[in-house]
């Protein structure tokens, strides 16, 4: 089969490798599409200590089951499935506490095991979840990133009529905003430095969006402030805008060296909760249900699709910050099939 292989940090090959064969509890999928995210970049740059090379990247994916091992009962040949790529060991202290996303021996498809930037991928069947046959197939790739956002909402502890302020109107910020709106928020405001993103954000979920929260009249602050940028200035600004008794969610991935300033006195006096959200925890099936129900506008979330041969172009497009979800797909034509949205193109 054809596959994208990270031979070692910094080296991408699109090459032929042996077809995967299923172990007793595995399924083999014919990959429909595979999204690209920051984790793929970190993997390519050698920033993930648990990674093994060579490795086929790709952890946001869906596909059709084409073979199963003899012990597999939950999926069958012909099923169309989305896959939770996270494979905690189930035995460490954190797994036993039910916090499997904090596993000390975390394994993941597309990071420590071969992923789905390929024609075929082998997955343990227990992480494959069946999608309705009439769902537009590329939408299945959105379940994984959405499941991270669902876990973020679990971390917040959602209340009706909370007011949200979200930094970053990229894919994750827009998913979070749509979930906030759906979750009965009293208002969703967004901050993004790129005005080209405003129109889509307003259409999908934002009551207001601006390049600075100073432009919003809200001196008492917001009940929930979410950073979906990982950028220090956004985090420092956001921490100052949490309402008394409110919550700040660290959702965006900052660099390991990043440091922010905040007032511990304010956190004390106003009883601010500052919480993190890492990957997925019992949120994959719920995210799948939300995609199926149309709670997020999946069509609007996917901006580009590239063939496997154009993986480097897909990475370059991702790095450019243009567009929203960028996919590679074995079935895509060799030439770039780009559906760059006007909102993004203007940026």
DSSP tag of 139: G
Asked whether the beta carbons of 29 and 80 are under 8 A apart, the reply is no
CA–CA dist 27, 271 (Å, integer): 48
Q: Which of residues 95-154 bind Zn ion (CB under 5 A)?
A: 95, 103
For the CB of residue 33, give the shortest distance to Zn ion in the complex, in Å: 29
Question: What DSSP assignment string belongs to 51-81?
Answer: --SSB----EEEEEEEEE-TT--S--TT-EE
**Residue 299 touching Zn ion (CB under 5 A):** no
Question: What DSSP assignment string belongs to 286-301?
Answer: HHHHHHHHTSS-HHHH
Q: Which of residues 307-346 bind Zn ion (CB under 5 A)?
A: none
**Residue 236 touching Zn ion (CB under 5 A):** no
- The residue range among 9-17, 75-83, 90-98, 301-309 that interacts with Zn ion, by the rule CB under 5 A, is 90-98
- Closer CB to Zn ion, 91 or 320, in the complex: 91
Name which position in 20, 22, 88, 323 contacts Zn ion (CB under 5 A): 88
**Residue 19 touching Zn ion (CB under 5 A):** no
CA–CA dist 337, 173 (Å, integer): 25
- Closer CB to Zn ion, 92 or 210, in the complex: 92
Name which position in 1, 41, 92, 232 contacts Zn ion (CB under 5 A): 92
| Residue carrying structure tokens 């014919």 | 30
b/e 317-329 (16+ beta carbons within 10 angstroms → b): bbeeebbbbbbbb
- Closer CB to Zn ion, 95 or 235, in the complex: 95
Name which position in 89, 211, 236, 299 contacts Zn ion (CB under 5 A): 89
DSSP tag of 346: T
For the CB of residue 152, give the shortest distance to Zn ion in the complex, in Å: 21
For the CB of residue 281, give the shortest distance to Zn ion in the complex, in Å: 12
Q: Which residues bind Zn ion (CB under 5 A)?
A: 88-89, 92, 95, 103
């Amino acid at each position: 089969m054809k596959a994208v292989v990270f031979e070692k940090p910094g080296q991408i090959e699109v090459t032929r490798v042996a077809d995967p064969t299923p172990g007793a509890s595995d399924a083999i999928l014919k990959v429909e599409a595979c999204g690209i995210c920051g984790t793929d970049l970190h993997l390519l740059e050698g920033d993930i200590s648990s990674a093994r090379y060579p490795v086929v990247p790709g952890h946001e994916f869906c596909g059709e089951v084409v073979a199963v091992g003899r012990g597999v009962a939950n999926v069958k040949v012909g099923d169309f499935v989305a896959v939770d790529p996270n494979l905690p060991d189930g035995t460490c202290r954190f797994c036993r506490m039910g916090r499997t996303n904090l596993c000390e021996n975390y394994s993941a498809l597309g990071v420590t095991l071969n992923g789905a930037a390929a024609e075929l991928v082998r997955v343990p069947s227990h992480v494959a979840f069946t999608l309705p046959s009439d769902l537009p197939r590329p939408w299945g790739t959105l379940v994984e990133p959405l499941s991270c956002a669902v876990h973020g909402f679990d971390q917040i502890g959602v209340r009706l009529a909370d007011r949200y302020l979200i930094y970053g109107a990229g894919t994750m910020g827009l998913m979070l905003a749509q979930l906030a709106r759906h979750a009965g928020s009293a208002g969703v405001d967004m901050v993004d430095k790129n005005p080209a993103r405003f129109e889509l954000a307003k259409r999908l979920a934002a009551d207001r969006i601006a390049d600075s929260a100073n432009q919003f009249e809200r001196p008492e602050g917001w009940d929930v402030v979410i950073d979906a940028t990982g950028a220090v200035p956004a985090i420092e600004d956001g921490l100052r805008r949490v309402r008394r008794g409110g919550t700040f969610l660290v959702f965006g991935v900052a660099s390991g060296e990043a440091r922010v300033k905040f007032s511990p006195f304010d956190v004390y006096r106003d009883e601010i909760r500052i919480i993190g959200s890492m990957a997925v925890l019992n949120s994959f099936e719920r995210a799948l249900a939300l995609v199926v129900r149309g709670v997020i506008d999946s069509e609007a979330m996917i901006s580009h699709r590239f063939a496997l041969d154009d993986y480097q172009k897909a990475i370059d497009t991702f790095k450019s910050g243009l567009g929203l979800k960028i996919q590679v797909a074995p079935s895509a034509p060799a030439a770039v099939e780009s559906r760059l949205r006007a909102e993004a193109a203007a940026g």
